[in-house]
Every structure is written in C-alpha cells, then in structure tokens.
Amino acid sequence: MRVKQLSVFLENKSGRLAEVLSLLAKAGVNLRALSLADTRDFGVLRVIVDDVAKAHAVLKEHGVTASETDVLAVEVPDQPGGLAGILELLGRQNVSVEYMYAFVAKSGDKAIMVFRFDNLDQAAGALQRGGVRILTGKELYSL
C-alpha cells in the first residue's frame, strides 16, 4: 500500500536539477512523478521512480543527499470536485496533508495523486473507509 518516494536535497543553483536527473537517466531510472519544493537557497526534489533502490544508490554514489519517504498514491476521480472530495474526507478525520503532487500517468479513467501525510496509517484508514482506492507500489511502477 505504501509507496516509496525518493526525496533529494538540491542547492538552488542553475543546472543542478538537470545534473541530478541526468545521473538517474544514465542509470536507466524512469521518473513516474515529480515535484519540486524550493526556498531562496535550496530545494527538495521528490520523485516516484520505477526502481527506488537503484536510484538511491546512484545518487549516494555521487554524493547527493537523498532519503526514501513513505507516501500514498491515491486514485482521484478525474472530474470537477474529485480532489476536493478526497481532501474533505481527510479533513473530517483530522488527517493533515504535508504535501501532494500529481502523477503523470492515469489509472484507467482516474487521475493519481501522491500524498505525504503526518500520520500515514491514519490517512490510509480514512481513505479506505471512504472508498478511495490506494495504489500499491507494484501497480504504480508498472503504469
């Protein structure tokens, strides 16, 4: 149920994101989803890849600071109010979202969002009780 996200520390300087992504490309790692959060001086790149262990090892080998983070990949109805409905459901259960971003591929006719929660188990329970489908890592990487 949990999906591993690779989180990468990046300095805010031109060309750095390209350098890190090309390290992954050379290792044959495919990106499935990506988000970048930044401040004035630094940023955090968050990616879902097809092979987390390999991607992590490659970055480590090149001295890039990265860690693996548990996130949930959730099916979201691809229609107006689809995401709002899920956030309301979570809100009613007092689950807070740390951050989220969209997945590139679709699952059937549904969109996929990646969520990072402060309390992942509580969030998963709330979603499941609300009838929201959570994708497994296997499903996700094979999309």
Partner 1 sequence: MIWRKDVECLPVDKLRALQLERLKALVARVVERVPFYTKVFADAGITAQGITSLDDLPKLPFTRKTDLRDNYPFGLFAVPLSEVKELHASSGTTGNPTVVAYTKNDIALWSDVMARTLACAGAVPGDVVQNAYGYGLFTGGLGIHYGALELGATVVPMSSGGTKRQIKLMHDFGATVLTCTPSYALFMAEEAADMGVDTRRSPLRVGVHGAEPWTEGMRREIEETWNIKAMDIYGLSEIIGPGVAEECQAQDGLHVFSDVFLPEVIDPDTGEPRPDGKDGELVITTLTKEALPLIRYRTGDIVSITHEPCKVCGRTSPRMSKVRGRTDDMLIIRGVNVFPSQIESVLLEVEGAKPHYQLIVDRQGSLDQLEVQVEIDEGVFSDEIKVLEDLERRIHRELESVLGLSVSVRLVEPRTIERSVGKAKRVIDKRQL
- Residue of 3, 5, 55, 72 that binds partner 1 (CB under 8 A): 5
Q: Based on CB atoms, which residue is closest to partner 1, 36 or 102?
A: 36
Please choose, from the candidates 143, 56, 69, the residue with its C-alpha nearest in 3D space to the C-alpha of residue 104. Answer: 143
Q: Which two tokens stand for residue 53?
A: 């262990």
Which helix (H) or strand (E) element contains residue 43?
strand 42-49
Instruction: Compute how many other C-beta atoms are within 10 angstroms of the C-beta atom of residue 82.
Output: 14
Total chain residues near partner 1 (CB under 8 A):
21
| Secondary structure class of 68 (helix, strand, coil) | strand
3 near partner 1, judged by CB under 8 A: no
Phi and psi torsions of 17, nearest 5° = -60, -45
Q: Based on CB atoms, which residue is closest to partner 1, 10 or 90?
A: 10
Encoded one letter per residue, x for contact with partner 1 by CB under 8 A and - for no contact, window 61-90 reads: --xxxxx-x---------------------
CA distance 66 to 10: 9
Encoded one letter per residue, x for contact with partner 1 by CB under 8 A and - for no contact, window 115-134 reads: -x------------------
Q: Based on CB atoms, which residue is closest to partner 1, 54 or 110?
A: 54
Q: Counting Cβ atoms within 10 Å, is residue 90 exposed (0-12), middle (13-18) or buried (19+)?
A: buried
41 near partner 1, judged by CB under 8 A: yes
User: Would you tell me which residues interact with partner 1 (CB under 8 A)?
Assistant: 5, 7, 9-11, 37-39, 41-42, 44, 46, 63-67, 69, 98-99, 116
